[in-house]
């Protein structure tokens, strides 16, 4: 039998925890010996083609206090902090000869030779560490485990990363419940974080990043399966997140937390961008965990930024420090609370589970350190097949939000959404730059500038909210702010009617005027962005990639390719028809990726106008409130105007339009002028009683418009959008009486369209009285059959 090694690993997050572990005399019911120091120098060996790695093994040469050892280890598996792997070890003669034929005869040598043949072994990377090895024993009995406290670094190509780590290895013969007991005793210690990756795995990944040859492996290639590409993209961020764990925990340098948060945010954004092509159910624990981590780190980061900016202001303006004492008292109290939460989180099983879930998907697979890939909906879909679509969609989303800037009608939430769109577009370009081509480099630079400006706006908005809360309530946040981490209770003595000190009032004004200045400058900034030809660059790069794919550099053409190829000449128009709440909006959102067409919903356009109090919105309101249709002339003009926008050049997915015969006729005429027409009408059928329940339970995101249901499609956090974090609300017209009216209007005015489109041969009926997924599948089926 191959000997198995069972050990638990933890990252030691702070000096104090390290000291405590070095000094501890007892653990659970066991005694811990003082131990001894070892200086360990490990070199990992493999062939240039990674044959050992490919067999799921690692070959290590170790020099420990002058003595040489050779070890062959299985890569094993990790469960939170507990690693299990096979291990064989022999003494290695000095001086060391990397040719296995010179090694002592035995199982290890035979195994290595059988794996590598006559290919030479070369050093991969080295790990140097100081180990304090302590034994854990029964009070009067045998040793049950070894406790190792390691400090050292992994080096490759002149670059290195540091680590401080605790390993607990079960002694041969000891039962696993002993380990459980020890881990239990350790669980009370804060500065420990479960470490699901071995040093070897980290070394490999590190070498992959640093080494030029190996780095190429991590670069996204046009023919990578999409899941593999995403895995390559995420992996460095995963390691970066862990690399900044200890610094975040220590808290002395705020940039450590910032870097850790950026790594987490990047992973979130990449998963978000990639989500239409990934099996997001399988990735649920990852996305949820990352979101939590991002929230907890973000809560502290926001306060760090606030403090830095405020102190810079005081220094810069020579403001009276005394005026800021009350503010900083509130800040201090809230900051301590948030940091505590962060520290608890870093040491929690929850965080351990997040890393474990991530690592399950990111761990390199045999052969040769190749990424195994994230679970994709269609494992055969390649990067070059989907990236053009993704890039276009991200661009369209940004342009869509951007159109509001010129009108001066964009709300602060709108700017926030714009910033997020900008970030998503920029990450898309960065991540797939190798595939889209170096031309997008300029676009990335311009987007960065745009983002910096809007980042400052975001900081100012947040700062004003806090300053106002401090002024009115004496607390960091206003009471019961949705989505806030703030719980309860004023943090300092300032009551609501104590006026703010002059210095603070001035500061509040300064931050408010930052917002005004941004908004005033926004149209010019946006115009500059457009003038820099970013949209053209991106569209051109996407089209070029597509053309290359179509020229046969790709063998598998997806529906997407066929469609986009066809659309270059002839736009596609698909109509989603169905009574109120039949699921048009929900489904449109899901079909958008398949169709790569902008979603044009007349109801959303009206609500957008209403929110921004445009004349059109104000006119429509009276009809909408009553559940009646808005007059045809207004509606037709609004929708045709929308269809004339550049992002609709390839067509559109229409939702809620047309709703009357005159609207349908006007649409036909407008499309015919462009030599085009309706390609497909999907009629979603749902019984009336089901519709009433759907209407009354519907909730929408104020920010991105995503549709939820309190019973059938509830968000992860009540009242908060899963997709963008926006606030959920109920439409004014989603009450039962208005909904009944809307159903009646539908029967009278819209159902005649069914006949109209049926006679043109473009109508397909879909049973909408099924689960959301089933309806999506039915719609996909119809689209794939008809387009
Ligand atoms: P639903 O959930 O009923 O599908 P929508 O969001 O599509 O609702 O529409 C909301 C309201 O906007 C309608 O009740 C109507 O007043 C107005 N509206 C939307 N689309 C049209 C249209 N094509 N013609 C006239 N009015 C419309
Ligand atoms: P529409 O755009 O047609 O007015 P929505 O897409 O907004 O409809 O859906 C109406 C409500 O019903 C939403 O709350 C949505 O979450 C929910 N819903 C949509 N499709 C289904 C379904 N197949 N089963 C259950 N609830 C659904
Ligand atoms: Zn949203």
SS (H, E, C) 233-294: HHHHHHHHHHHCHHHHHHCCCHHHHHHHHHHHHHHHHHHHHHHHHECCCCCHHHHHHHHHHH
Per-residue pLDDT averaged across 397-405, rounded? Answer: 82
Residue 549 pLDDT greater than 80, yes or no: no
Choice among 626, 731, 740, 741 that is catalytic: 731
CA of 585 to the centre of ligand 2 (A): 7
pLDDT at 32 (0 to 100)? 94
For residue 686, count CB atoms less than 10 angstroms from its CB and return exposed for 0-12, middle for 13-18, buried for 19 or more.
buried
Are 725 and 719 in contact by the 8 Å Cβ rule? The answer is no
Per-residue pLDDT averaged across 117-125, rounded? Answer: 81
CA of 602 to the centre of ligand 1 (A): 6
Per-residue pLDDT averaged across 466-490, rounded? Answer: 64
Indicate the pLDDT class of residue 194, thresholds 50, 70 and 90: confident
Tokens of 253: 């340098």
Indicate the pLDDT class of residue 498, thresholds 50, 70 and 90: low
Ligand 1 surroundings by CB, under 6 angstroms: 580-581, 584, 602-603, 606, 623-624, 627-630, 635, 656-659, 663, 733, 742
Q: Lowest mean pLDDT of 208-222, 288-302, 455-469, name the range.
A: 208-222
- What radius of gyration, in Å, describes the C-alpha atoms of the chain? 30
pLDDT at 674 (0 to 100)? 76
pLDDT at 272 (0 to 100)? 92
pLDDT at 650 (0 to 100)? 83
Residue 648 is classified by DSSP as G
Task: Tell me the per-residue pLDDT of 309-345, one tens digit each, with 9 for 90 and over.
Answer: 999 999 999 999 999 998 999 999 999 999 989 988 8
Give the whole-number percent of the chain exceeding pLDDT 70: 89
CA of 722 to the centre of ligand 1 (A): 25
Residue whose entry in the numeric block shows the structure tokens 């002058």: 66
pLDDT at 496 (0 to 100)? 44
Ligand 2 surroundings by CB, under 6 angstroms: 578, 580-586, 694, 697-698, 707-709, 712-713, 770-772, 775
Question: Which residues lie closer than 8 Å to 220 by C-beta, 6 or more apart?
Answer: 229, 232, 233, 383, 431, 432, 434, 435
pLDDT at 77 (0 to 100)? 60
Indicate the pLDDT class of residue 720, thresholds 50, 70 and 90: very high
pLDDT at 562 (0 to 100)? 38
Are 69 and 96 in contact by the 8 Å Cβ rule? The answer is no
| 731 given a catalytic annotation | yes
For residue 759, count CB atoms less than 10 angstroms from its CB and return exposed for 0-12, middle for 13-18, buried for 19 or more.
exposed
Residue 143 pLDDT greater than 50, yes or no: yes
Residue 247 pLDDT greater than 90, yes or no: no
| 584 given a catalytic annotation | yes
Task: Tell me the per-residue pLDDT of 280-289, one tens digit each, with 9 for 90 and over.
Answer: 888 999 999 9
Indicate the pLDDT class of residue 409, thresholds 50, 70 and 90: confident
Its pTM surpasses 0.85: no
* Selected residue with higher pLDDT from 601 and 705: 601
Per-residue pLDDT averaged across 418-436, rounded? Answer: 90
Residue 559 pLDDT greater than 60, yes or no: no
Instruction: For the chain, give the mean pLDDT.
Output: 84
Per-residue pLDDT averaged across 608-624, rounded? Answer: 85
Distance CA 162, CA 41 (A): 14
Tokens of 436: 């889209």
pLDDT at 556 (0 to 100)? 33
Q: What DSSP element (H or E) covers 344?
A: helix 325-346
pLDDT at 290 (0 to 100)? 97
CA-proximal residue: ligand 1, atom 21 (nearest):
602
| 25 given a catalytic annotation | no
* Selected residue with higher pLDDT from 290 and 102: 290
pLDDT at 367 (0 to 100)? 45
Indicate the pLDDT class of residue 221, thresholds 50, 70 and 90: confident
Choice among 60, 423, 659, 699 that is catalytic: 659
Q: Lowest mean pLDDT of 216-230, 521-535, 752-766, name the range.
A: 216-230
pLDDT at 532 (0 to 100)? 84
Mutate to test the pocket of ligand 2, among 586, 706, 730, 768 (most ligand atoms within 8 A of CB): 586
| 659 given a catalytic annotation | yes
Q: Lowest mean pLDDT of 354-363, 570-579, 754-763, 776-785, name the range.
A: 354-363
pLDDT at 480 (0 to 100)? 54
pLDDT at 555 (0 to 100)? 32
Summary count for the chain: helices (H), strands (E): 28, 22
pLDDT at 89 (0 to 100)? 86
């Amino acid at each position: 039998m191959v000997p198995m090694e069972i050990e638990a690993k933890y990252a030691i997050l702070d000096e104090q925890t390290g000291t405590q572990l070095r000094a501890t005399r007892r653990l659970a019911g066991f005694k811990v010996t003082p131990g001894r120091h070892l200086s360990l120098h490990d070199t990992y060996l493999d062939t240039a083609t990674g044959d050992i790695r490919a067999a799921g093994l690692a070959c290590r040469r170790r020099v420990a206090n002058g003595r040489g050892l050779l070890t062959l280890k299985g890569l094993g598996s990790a469960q939170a902090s507990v690693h299990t792997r096979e291990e064989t070890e022999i003494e290695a003669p000095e001086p060391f000869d990397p040719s296995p034929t010179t090694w002592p005869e035995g199982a290890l040598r035979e195994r290595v030779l059988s794996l590598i043949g006559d290919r030479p072994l070369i050093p991969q990377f080295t790990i140097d560490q100081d180990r304090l090895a302590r034994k854990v024993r029964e009070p009067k009995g045998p040793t049950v485990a070894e406790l190792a406290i390691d400090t050292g670094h992994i080096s490759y190509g002149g670059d290195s990363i540091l680590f401080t780590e605790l390993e607990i290895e079960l002694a041969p013969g000891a039962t696993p419940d002993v380990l459980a007991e020890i881990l239990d005793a350790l669980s009370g210690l804060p500065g420990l974080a479960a470490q699901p990756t071995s040093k070897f795995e980290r070394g490999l990944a590190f070498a992959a990043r640093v080494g030029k040859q190996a780095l190429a492996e991590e670069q996204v290639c046009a023919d990578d399966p999409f899941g593999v590409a995403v895995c390559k993209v995420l992996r460095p961020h995963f390691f970066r997140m862990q690399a900044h764990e200890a610094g975040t925990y220590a808290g002395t340098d705020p940039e450590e937390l910032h870097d850790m948060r950026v790594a987490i945010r990047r992973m979130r954004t990449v998963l978000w961008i990639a989500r239409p092509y990934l099996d997001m159910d399988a990735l649920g624990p990852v996305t949820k965990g990352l979101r939590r981590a991002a929230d907890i780190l973000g809560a502290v980061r926001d306060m760090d930024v606030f403090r830095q900016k405020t102190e810079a202001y005081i220094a810069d303006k020579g403001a009276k420090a005394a005026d800021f004492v009350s503010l900083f008292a509130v800040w201090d109290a809230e900051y301590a609370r948030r940091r505590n939460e962060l520290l608890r989180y870093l040491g929690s099983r929850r965080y351990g589970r997040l890393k474990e879930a991530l690592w399950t998907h990111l761990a390199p697979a045999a052969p040769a350190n190749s990424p195994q890939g994230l679970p994709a909906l269609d494992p055969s879909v390649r990067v070059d097949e989907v990236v053009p679509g993704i890039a276009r969609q991200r661009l369209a989303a940004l342009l869509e939000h951007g159109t509001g800037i010129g009108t001066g009608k964009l709300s602060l939430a709108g700017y926030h959404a714009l910033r997020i769109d900008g970030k998503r577009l920029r990450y898309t370009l960065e991540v797939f730059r190798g595939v889209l081509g170096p031309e997008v480099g300029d676009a990335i630079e311009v987007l960065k500038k745009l983002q910096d400006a809007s980042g400052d706006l975001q900081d100012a908005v947040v700062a004003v909210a806090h300053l106002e809360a401090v002024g009115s309530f004496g607390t960091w946040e206003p009471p019961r702010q949705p989505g806030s981490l703030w719980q309860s209770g004023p943090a300092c003595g300032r009551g609501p009617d104590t006026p703010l000190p002059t210095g603070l009032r001035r500061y509040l004004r300064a931050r408010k005027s930052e917002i005004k200045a941004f908004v005033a400058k926004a149209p010019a900034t946006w115009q500059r962005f457009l003038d820099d030809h970013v949209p053209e660059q991106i569209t051109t790069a996407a089209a070029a990639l597509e053309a290359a794919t179509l020229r046969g550099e790709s063998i598998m053409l997806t529906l997407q390719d066929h469609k986009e190829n066809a659309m270059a000449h002839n736009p596609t128009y698909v109509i989603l028809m169905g009574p109120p709440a039949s699921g048009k909006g929900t489904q449109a959102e899901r079909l958008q990726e398949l169709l790569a067409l902008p979603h044009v919903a007349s109801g959303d356009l009206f609500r957008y106008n209403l929110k921004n109090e445009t004349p059109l919105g104000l006119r429509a309101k009276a009809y909408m409130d009553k559940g009646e249709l808005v007059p045809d002339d207004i509606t037709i003009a609004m929708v045709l105007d929308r269809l004339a926008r550049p992002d609709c050049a390839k067509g559109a997915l229409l939702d809620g339009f047309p709703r009357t015969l005159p609207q349908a006729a006007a649409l036909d005429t407008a499309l015919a002028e462009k030599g085009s027409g309706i390609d497909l009408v999907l009629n979603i059928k749902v019984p009336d009683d089901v519709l009433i329940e759907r209407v009354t339970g519907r909730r929408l995101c104020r920010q991105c418009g995503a549709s939820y249901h309190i019973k059938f499609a509830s968000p992860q956090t009540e009242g908060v959008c899963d997709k963008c974090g926006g606030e959920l609300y109920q439409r004014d017209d989603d009450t039962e009486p208005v909904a009944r009216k809307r159903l009646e209007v539908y029967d009278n005015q819209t159902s005649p369209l069914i006949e109209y489109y049926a006679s043109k041969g473009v109508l397909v009926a879909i049973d909408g009285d099924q689960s959301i997924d089933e309806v999506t599948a039915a719609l996909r089926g119809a689209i794939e059959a008809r387009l």
